[in-house]
Amino acid sequence: MATSTTNLSAYDKTTIPNAKDFRFGIVVSEWNPNITEGMFQGAFDAILDCGGIKENIVRWNVPGSFELIYGCKKMTQSFDMLDAVIAIGSVIQGETKHFDYVCEGVAQGIKDLNVKGDIPVIFCVLTDNTMQQSIDRSGGKHGNKGTEAAIAAIKMAQLRKDAKF
């Protein structure tokens, strides 16, 4: 979690498995692109920094955060060679309850994909009260949630590999 004392982009590379043999899917919401593109870049750069190969990263775009669930589901079904998928989105509080429904639905949907599927799906959806909070967490003063999600994806890909028996 991003706080004034924790940076989302901070990781100890010596504790991260080498990502060179892993394949990643990244599904990116087109809603709030100034936020989601920053998180995509953070995830992409972190995977490469940890040994990942550019050609082993597949990106799909979906219209909004709610559509991340379907996009991630189809990606896990279409690419059985993927080791992890990252769902990148941004939902910012507005004047209606729509925010609550979208946040709850996306969180539950990504959870369901993890429970029912074999490929880990990493939740990288900012659910902030203001645009400034999102900016601060997509490459701003609190780092980049995309970077944090990529590190989680690498670790979960390794767990998936180690858990096969």
Instruction: Give the residue numbers of the binding site for (2S)-2-hydroxy-3-oxobutyl phosphate.
Output: 95-96, 137
Task: Give Cα 123 distance to the centre of its chain.
Answer: 5
Output DSSP code: residue 140.
E
Rounded to an integer, what distance in angstroms lies between the CA atom of residue 120 and that of residue 131? Answer: 29
What are the respective helix, strand and coil percentages of the chain, to the nearest 5?
A: 45, 20, 30
User: Of the residues 13, 98, 111, 161, which is catalytic?
Assistant: 98
How far apart (Å, rounded) are the C-alpha atoms in residues 147 and 75? 21
Burial of 21 (0-12, 13-18, 19+ CB in 10 A): middle
- Cα(76)–Cα(120) distance, integer angstroms: 9
Place of tokens 């590379």: 13
Does residue 98 have an active-site annotation?
Answer: yes
Binding-site residues for 5-amino-6-(D-ribitylamino)uracil, in ranges, read 31, 65-67, 90-92, 123
Residues serving a catalytic function are 98
